[in-house]
Amino acid sequence: MPKKYIVVFKSIGRRWFLILVIIIIIIAIFNPIAAIWMAGITLVMFLLSYIPRLFFKNKLHRFMKKFYKIEDELIARKLKKPIKKIRDEMFELSQNQEKKKMLIVFLNKQYVCYHQDTIKAFKEVYNEGYSEKEMLDNLKNYKINTRLEIKAIQDTLIKLDRLSEREISVKEHKEKQRFA
């Protein structure tokens, strides 16, 4: 059980903004100029509190670009950050990835990020009319190991309108291979 003073500090930490607003109102009654200065300083400190988050997002983004495929647990281990924080950031990145070159997929209760080269290779073999098994064989170099991954990537790309219709259907590709 945590000590009482730790609980008090945590509860103050959660309500610091409300406490500060009350203090500013009290100071405004006695000295309005000091209250304006205090409110300005508070606003600047509040805006500065977002800077570390922006640095972390950029660091995470650069780190993910180094791998063809990387999972959230590995990112958490390498960056020495809590898995919850990594998953929250990856969830946020996965929500607005229509114009991004990389792809983040939620697969087997974890987030997986695929590099832009992996997605480019996937689109090429998809458009050539390969079946899931053939796609899996061709994408082994990009660390794609299961058909489930192929299906998840395909579904996500279709959902984001980043995957066009196949140039050659699977049936046409198989007939072409059989008669060649």
Q: Are residues 146 and 88 in the same domain?
A: yes
The predicted structure's pLDDT at residue 9: 67
Most confident of 5-14, 33-42, 45-54: 33-42
Half-sphere exposure of 93 (CA within 13 A, CB side): 26
The boundaries of the domain holding residue 92 are 52-173
Q: Are residues 45 and 59 in the same domain?
A: no
CA–CA dist 59, 51 (Å, integer): 12
The predicted structure's pLDDT at residue 87: 92
Between the CA atoms of 137, 141, 147 and 152, what dihedral angle is there, to the nearest 10 degrees? -140
Contact of 14 with 20, CB cutoff 8 Å: no
Does the structure show a pLDDT above 60 at 74? yes
Read off the pLDDT band of 110 (50, 70, 90).
very high
The predicted structure's pLDDT at residue 117: 92
The predicted structure's pLDDT at residue 22: 86
- % of the chain residues with pLDDT over 90: 22
CA–CA dist 87, 93 (Å, integer): 10
Higher pLDDT, 109 or 46: 109
Rounded alpha-carbon distances, angstroms, from residue 103 to 38, 44, 71, 111, 180:
44, 35, 12, 10, 35
Q: Are residues 65 and 96 in the same domain?
A: yes
Does the structure show a pLDDT above 90 at 169? no
In a domain, 179, yes or no: no
pLDDT per position as a tens digit, 114-167: 999 999 999 998 888 888 888 889 888 888 989 999 999 999 888 888 888 777
The predicted structure's pLDDT at residue 114: 93
Read off the pLDDT band of 113 (50, 70, 90).
very high
In a domain, 180, yes or no: no
In a domain, 84, yes or no: yes
Q: Are residues 75 and 40 in the same domain?
A: no
Q: Are residues 18 and 74 in the same domain?
A: no
Does the structure show a pLDDT above 60 at 1? no
Q: Are residues 63 and 92 in the same domain?
A: yes
Does the structure show a pLDDT above 80 at 11? no
Q: Are residues 45 and 56 in the same domain?
A: no
Total structural domains in the chain? 2
Q: Are residues 18 and 76 in the same domain?
A: no
* Average of per-residue pLDDT values in the chain: 85
Strand order in the sheet with 69-71: 69-71, 110-114, 103-107
Q: Are residues 120 and 152 in the same domain?
A: yes
Can you give the pTM of this predicted structure?
0.70
Residue 106 is classified by DSSP as: E
Rounded alpha-carbon distances, angstroms, from residue 165 to 49, 127, 133:
45, 7, 19
In a domain, 167, yes or no: yes
